[in-house]
Each structure stands twice: as C-alpha cells, then as structure tokens.
Amino acid sequence: MAKDSLIGGSIWEAYSQKVQDLMNNPQNMGQLTEEDAARLGGKLIIADFGAESCGDAVRLYWIVDEATEIIKDAKFKSFGCGTAIASSDTMAELCIGKTVSEAVKITNIDVEKAMRDDVDTPAVPPQKMHCSVMAYDVIKAAAASFKGVDAASFEDDIIVCECARVSLGTIKEVIKINNLKTVEEITNYTKAGAFCKSCIKPGGHEEREYYLVDILRDTRAEMEHDHLLAISNSKIDGTNTVSFEELTVVKKLKEIEAVIDENIRPMLIMDGGNLEILDIKEVEGGAIDVYIRYLGACNGCASSSSGTLFAIEAVLQEKLSKNIRVLPI
C-alpha cells in the first residue's frame, strides 16, 4: 500500500491503530434481512444518510426488539473513504445492546473517542472528523424510522453548521478540549464552516443565529474566566502547590503547548518552520521526555539537533521543570 507522505513522517501516523484496523477489517459491515429479524425476534430498520459535501453515504441496519426497544444487532454499508468505514463500524458497535432512546444520544465525539488507542490522542486527523458526524446522523434517521417521528425531534442541541451537522455543544467542547484559537482550527476539527461558510461570520448567503467567530470568542472568554477562577481558588485554599511533575499527562501536554506557543513557536515560524509534540513519557529517574517532530524549514535543519533543540529544552526547563528532556524524532 502506497503511503502519502507528510512533513516528517507518514500520513498513517495521524490515524489510530484501531482506525487502521477497522479500515481494512470492519467487524460490523454487511446487511441484515427480514429473515435475520425473524430469527432474532425483532423488527428490521434500515436508514440511509448521505453527506452531499463530500459524497460519502452510509446505510444502517438495526434489528430492534419492539417490546424493549433494545437494538439486538446492527450492521452497516458505507460508500466512502476508509475513515467513513471505520467510523460507521464503530457507530454500529456502539448501538448494539442499547435501547433506541440510548442510541440517539451517541454523538460524533463518542464515535471518535471510541476509535482512539488512548484517551488523550485523537483517532483521526482533524480534517476527517466529519466522517463521525455522518455516523451520528444516520443513527437519528434509524431512530426516527423506528419511532415514526421526524429525525429533527431527536436534536437536543442547536445546530450551528447545517452542512456538516455540527452542534453548538460539539463546537464548544472541541474548542475547550483542544484549546483551539482560530476559526480555521474549528473547521479542521469539525468541518463546521468548510462548505457554504454561512456559519463562519455574518454576511454569508444565509443569516444564522450563531456564528463560529462569536462562539470562539465567547468560549475562549469562558475558558479564561475558568482559568483565572481556578488560580484564585487555589490561592485561597492553598492548593497551588502542585508541581509540574504531579500533573496528569494531559495537563503536562497543555502546559508544554502553552509555553511553546508563547516562547518558541513564533521564533520557528519566522524562519519558515514549526514543530509538533508527538508524545510525553515519564522515565525512571524522574526525567520527562518530550518527543517532538520538526516541521517545514526546521525539518532537516542543521541546528535542529543542536542550537535550536537546546534552546527549546532550556525554555521548557526554565518555565516548567528541570526534568524535561526534548527528543526530536
């Protein structure tokens, strides 16, 4: 299989092993028939959903016990990319054993998280997050078919981007989890604003109640307020004694990213380069190894393994912990 190259590595590094396995060997792909429904003592439900924006489509099969509304089996057919197959397979697996009312609460975020190899590392690159949105929508279609109602009746959140079916709650959650700072990053992670663009800011062909620029501004303000409140509370109750070494891996990563964004990344970008953090590992002896990958002009630069590397490590040691070691890959 040919591998498309990204700067500094393979494109497959952006996909979890679970996603790669499901692309090639989906566990729930296929179809269910009336004979299967009779054998399991349930009702056959078939629902379709297609994403006009990217051309992908998925068909979902359920066998539902009409008395308990429990989904006894689920299969799918996907007409799209490998990520759509993996997302649809995960979605079908999440449905099995749940009631229809429980299944409609499965979100695209739930699907993506279920495909992760570890809880802190996204399963797919941000530009592929919209595939899990399609899985989220076909569940609503199947539930609507079973209950004889409109799929819109299951929406318990405001839809900001109609094209990608992304809700206000999802956008705010993604901003907070990934510390997003630009509308472009929101689009990369959710596909909101990628198509007709009416939801990005006022002035598009369709007037909206919520715009990404406003959601980003308000959510960032909320995050800053929560951060300042946490600092204030820690000073009052004396809990501000937690060292960098005592933080969780996720919090360590956020602290390192913040220092790099403020002190290191601007310098690299000025010279046409950049870097990304690949992993953080705690090793024997108390060292905290930070694995990075250089991007752009920094990749292959002679000083990337000497002067630049020493400067990055010195800043992180000064700002966060003397135990940090920076290792380029």
Per-residue model confidence as pLDDT tens digits over 92-133: 999 999 999 999 888 777 888 899 998 888 888 876 766 777
Question: Are 44 and 186 found together in one domain?
Answer: no
Give the C-alpha distances (Å, rounded to integers) separating 149 from 101, 155, 217: 13, 12, 36
Residue 8 has pLDDT above 80, yes or no: no
Assess whether 143 and 41 both reside in one domain. yes
Cross-strand partners of 159: 167
pLDDT at 327: 92
Residues belonging to the chain: 329
Amino acid, single-letter form, for residue 307:
G
Whether 106 and 164 share a structural domain: no
CATH number of the domain within which 133 lies: 3.90.1010.10
From CA 44, how far away is CA 178, in angstroms rounded? 39
* Long-range contacts, stretch 121-124, CB < 8 angstroms, 24+ apart: 121/16, 122/16, 123/15, 123/16, 123/18, 123/19, 124/14, 124/15, 124/16, 124/19, 124/83, 124/86
Say whether both 18 and 97 belong to one domain. Answer: yes
- Residue 5 pLDDT > 50, yes or no? no
Same domain, yes or no: 76 and 144: yes
State whether residue 10 is helix, strand or coil.
strand
Q: In this predicted structure, what is the pLDDT of residue 153?
A: 65
Residue 169 confidence (pLDDT) above 90: no
pLDDT of amino acid 116: 93
The residue among 34 and 107 whose pLDDT is bigger is: 34
- Which pLDDT score is estimated for 10? 57
List the structure tokens of 256: 């390192």
Average of pLDDT values for 131-158?
79
How far is the C-alpha of 17 from the C-alpha of 39, rounded, in Å? 35
Which member of 54, 81, 196, 301 is catalytic?
54
Same domain, 14 and 99: yes
Rounded to whole angstroms, the Cα distance separating 183 from 30 reads: 38
Give the mean pLDDT of 293-310.
85
At residue 321, what is the residue type? S
Quick one: 67 and 133 in the same domain? Answer: yes
Select from 195, 216, 241 the last residue of a domain. 241
Over range 51-64, report the average pLDDT.
79
- pLDDT for residue 47: 94
Q: Between the ranges 4-8, 120-124, 212-216, where is the mean pLDDT highest? A: 212-216
- Which of 155, 175, 191 corresponds to the end of one domain? 155
Q: What is the pLDDT of residue 53?
A: 52
Of 194 and 139, the structure prediction assigns the larger pLDDT to 139
65 and 178 share a domain?
A: no
Angle between helices 212-237 and 168-178 (to 10 degrees): 50
Amino acid symbol at 24? N
Average pLDDT of the segment spanning 41-46:
97
Count of domains for the chain: 3
Residue 205's pLDDT band, with cuts at 50, 70 and 90, is confident
- Specify whether 13 is located in the same domain as 138: yes
Is-contact 254 264, C-beta < 8 A?
A: no
CA atoms of 213 and 208, how far apart (whole Å): 12
Secondary structure (H, E, C), 178-225: HCCCCHHHHHHHHCCCCCCCCCCCCCCCCCCCCCHHHHHHHHHHHHHH
176-180, 238-242, 288-292: least confidently modelled range:
238-242
Question: Mean pLDDT score of the chain, rounded to an integer?
Answer: 84
CATH of the domain at 215: 1.10.10.1100
Most confident range (mean pLDDT) of 6-15, 83-92, 201-210 is: 83-92
Residues 42 and 64: their CA atoms lie apart, in Å, by 5
Beta bridge partners of 44: 63
- Phi then psi dihedrals of residue 302, to 5 deg: -60, -35
Using the 3D structure, point to which of 155, 174, 199 is the last residue of a domain. Answer: 155
> Given this model, what pLDDT does residue 54 score?
57
Is residue 189 within 8 Å of residue 176, measured between CB atoms? Answer: no
pLDDT exceeds cutoff 60 at 237: no
> Same structural domain for residues 261 and 291?
yes
* CATH code of the domain in which 317 resides: 3.30.300.130
Crossing angle of helices 307-319/249-259, nearest 10°? Answer: 120
Query: What tokens were used for 222?
Result: 């909320």
CB 63 within 8 A of CB 31: no
Contact between 268 and 319 (Cβ < 8 Å): no
Task: Name the strands in the sheet holding 273-282, side by side, starting at the edge strand that comes first in the sequence.
Answer: 273-282, 288-296, 324-328
Q: Examine the residue annotation and report whether 54 is marked as an active-site residue of this protein.
A: yes
Q: What is the mean pLDDT of residues 12-25?
A: 89
Task: Give the domain range for residue 15.
Answer: 5-155
Percentages helix, strand, coil for the chain (3-state, rounded to 5) are 45, 20, 35
Per the residue annotation, which of 95, 131, 163, 199 is the catalytic one? Answer: 131
- For residue 4, name the pLDDT band (cuts at 50, 70, 90): very low
The residue-averaged pLDDT of 236-247 equals: 67
pLDDT of residue 178: 81
Residue 30 pLDDT grade (very low, low, confident, very high; cuts 50, 70, 90): very high
Question: Does 166 lie in the same domain as 87?
Answer: no
In a shared domain, residues 216 and 230: yes
